[in-house]
Structure 1
Amino acid sequence: MAAVDSFHLLYQEVARSCHNHFEFLAVVGALYTVRKGISILYECYSVVRLHVTPHILRRTDLVKQYGEWAVVTGATDIIGRAYAEELASRGLNIILICSNREELHNLSEAIAGAYGVNTSFIHADFSKGHEAYHSIKEVLGNLDVGILINNARVLYEHPQCIMEIPEDKVFEVINVNVAASVMMVRLVVPGMVQRKRGAIVNVSPGTRSQNRNNTQIAASKAYLDKFSRQLQYELRSSGIFVQLLTPLCVRDKHGSSTGIVHSLPFFVPSSEVYARHAVRTLGISSRTTGYWAHSLQLSVYQWVPGWMCTSIGRVLHY
């Protein structure tokens, strides 16, 4: 009988202990759910504030707010060209920079003819390092540069391990993806500080890919992220706005599209639509995808493992 009573007491003690643990886990679960709910609500609010409100309000006069001239590096790629055209449509004069002289000339004439603004172009190959900036310094010397779009970048044709990448390619990535943004900032910031106005946009395509063979590209993105944050702190008191723009997939309005998602314009906007939305985030958010559906995609990615994002991306985009 004593053995039965002891077992019964032990059972009651274990039951009480389990009940207490279950109560604790329930509280933890409730707090986690509340935290996630608040986080989702805040992300929804951020999307509305950034991507809906600017469309309702009157368009900002970018010339008055930042200055007469905009400089766009990587000007002939999809986003660079569309961003230059959008700024020109808002009345800014445009200086285009990239390494393809013929495309620069054609784009410069096309923008000037379409939007009635002054345009100029600078043929410069950032992969050459320091020598690429001599001609840029001469042109930008006395101009009222109000907006700088750092869009120059190179990507690997296929993923490679760091030891498989040719040495010339390693230096090209460093010179274009990292050094070009820093040097362009050094060239335009003194004038912006003197005028107490200006905007700098560093473009770094966003991705959740965890592919181990993109080491150097991933590192250059991380550098640009940190550089943009620190630059914002440094220049905030000078009236200069700094933004890190992290677009996802964008369609070239002049080219053909492939892949499942490319047939869904809400998720993969044309470069023209993307640039229109991205420009409206100037002065509002220091870090943004530039497009509402891209922001929603990134929010979803936070709930999905990186390897799954990579797998899904390969199926949808290729």
Structure 2
Amino acid sequence: MFLLLVLALVGSIALCFLLIDSLWSVLELISSYLMPYFLPAEVQPLSKRFGPWAVVTGATDGIGKQYALELARRGINIVIISRNPEKLKNVAAEIEKQHSVKTKVVVADFSRGAEVYPHIEEELKDIPVGILVNNVGVNYDYPMPVCETSTAKVWELINVNVGAVTSMTRMLLPGMVQRGSGAVVNVSSGSELQPLPLMTIYAATKAYVRSFTHAVREEYSTKGIYIQHLAPLFVSTKINAFSQRLMDGNLLVPDVATYARHAVSTLGRQHNTTGYWLHGIQYTFIKVAPVWLRTRVGLHMNDQFRQEYLRNAKIKSN
């Protein structure tokens, strides 16, 4: 009888925690994902709150480029870092022409690992960086099992998705702490929510970004530093080029300009967000499902993307 009472008590406690976690997900949806779009614009401009300069990595395409343009539209000078000198030059010219701010380009290939950071640090040493956007990232060319993934691709995923967010944060955070203000935006992915078969390493790197971001926030929130965890779901960018369905986009798969406009509006207002309200709804419903179910669904989804890519590749080769 005593054992039954103990088991009933343990079960009740477990059920309470489950209900609390589910309720918290709904509250997060309201506060983190929807509320920013019903609040008035920020009273204090981002340049006044964090500083006149922002660094955006991976800024020659996709989310990074549009995010840089959105920050520039708000009067912030932009440093863009990527590996293609010609693209960097063109994006910098576009930013300056559209928004009349200063720009600086830094050529760096993050896939090369530790060797690139002394050069970046030297290029940034005289710039009071107030906002760091760790956007640079790479994905699989198409979904595949671990044993099919080349060694070069494995290290590219780790060096870019893990190494860059860690090293850039470590590089620029001390200056922000010294000035008593600053913001770090770490771009993760909805794939962080569960193991993701056929994109195993990519999802694992994004789980790292989430963990790293939340921990750094606890370390530096009392120092006047704003740390944002930004976790988009599917956006129509080249990182998803393995699927034409994703490249075409739809209401749930926004184009990069739409996504960046919404994401930048959350900066300084929400610590954890998908950056786009419909992604917020998706994110919340995903969290309600048990991890094993999310993993199975992810496997099925990626297998469909894999078959789509292989079919198209076969057609092109014939």
TM-score relative to the length of structure 1: 0.80
| Match for residue 129 of structure 1 among 68, 91, 113 | 113
Task: Give the aligned partner of residue 259 of structure 1.
Answer: 245
1:200, CA displacement in angstroms?
A: 0.4
| Match for residue 171 of structure 2 among 175, 187, 198 | 187
The structure whose Rg is larger is 1
Task: Give the aligned partner of residue 223 of structure 1.
Answer: 208
1:122, CA displacement in angstroms?
A: 0.6
1:58-90: CA deviation from partner (whole Å, max 9, x where unpaired): 454000000111000011131000100000000
Task: Give the aligned partner of residue 141 of structure 2.
Answer: 157
* 1:63–1:134 distance in 2 versus 1, CA, 3 Å: same
Task: Give the aligned partner of residue 49 of structure 2.
Answer: 65
Task: Give the aligned partner of residue 273 of structure 1.
Answer: 258
2:308 maps to 1:308: no
1:187-223: CA deviation from partner (whole Å, max 9, x where unpaired): 2111101110000011112135754232221221111
| Match for residue 81 of structure 1 among 65, 84, 88 | 65
1:271, CA displacement in angstroms?
A: 1.4
- The amino acid that maps onto 1:146 is G
Name the structure, 1 or 2, with higher relative contact order (CA <8 Å, separation 6+).
Answer: 2
Residue ranges of structure 2 left out of the alignment (5+ in a row): 1-8, 309-318
Retained in 1: the 8 A contact 2:57–2:135?
Answer: yes
Counterpart Cα distance in 1 of 2:270 and 2:219: 16
Retained in 1: the 8 A contact 2:57–2:82?
Answer: yes
1:52, CA displacement in angstroms?
A: 2.2
Residue ranges of structure 1 left out of the alignment (5+ in a row): 1-23
1:290, CA displacement in angstroms?
A: 0.7
* 1:157–1:38 distance in 2 versus 1, CA, 3 Å: closer
DSSP-derived class of the 2:130 partner: strand
Count of residue pairs the alignment pairs up: 292
Task: Give the aligned partner of residue 76 of structure 2.
Answer: 92
- The amino acid that maps onto 1:308 is V
Task: Give the aligned partner of residue 228 of structure 2.
Answer: 243
Moved more, 36-45 or 302-311: 36-45
- The amino acid that maps onto 2:76 is L
Task: Give the aligned partner of residue 311 of structure 2.
Answer: none
2:185 maps to 1:196: no
Task: Give the aligned partner of residue 96 of structure 2.
Answer: 112
- The amino acid that maps onto 1:155 is N
2:284 maps to 1:295: no
Retained in 2: the 8 A contact 1:51–1:277?
Answer: no
- The amino acid that maps onto 2:256 is S
* 1:37–1:162 distance in 2 versus 1, CA, 3 Å: closer
* 1:51–1:165 distance in 2 versus 1, CA, 3 Å: same
DSSP-derived class of the 2:198 partner: helix
- The amino acid that maps onto 1:259 is R
1:33, CA displacement in angstroms?
A: 10
1:171, CA displacement in angstroms?
A: 1.9
* 1:74–1:302 distance in 2 versus 1, CA, 3 Å: same
1:169, CA displacement in angstroms?
A: 2.2
1:284, CA displacement in angstroms?
A: 2.4
1:107, CA displacement in angstroms?
A: 0.4
1:230, CA displacement in angstroms?
A: 1.0
DSSP-derived class of the 2:245 partner: coil
* 1:235–1:127 distance in 2 versus 1, CA, 3 Å: same
1:277, CA displacement in angstroms?
A: 1.3
* 1:38–1:205 distance in 2 versus 1, CA, 3 Å: closer
Counterpart Cα distance in 1 of 2:247 and 2:81: 31
Pairwise CA RMSD: 3.3
TM-score relative to the length of structure 2: 0.80
Counterpart Cα distance in 1 of 2:244 and 2:116: 35
1:272, CA displacement in angstroms?
A: 1.5
Retained in 1: the 8 A contact 2:246–2:253?
Answer: no
1:32-54: CA deviation from partner (whole Å, max 9, x where unpaired): 99758845652453256643233
- The amino acid that maps onto 1:236 is S
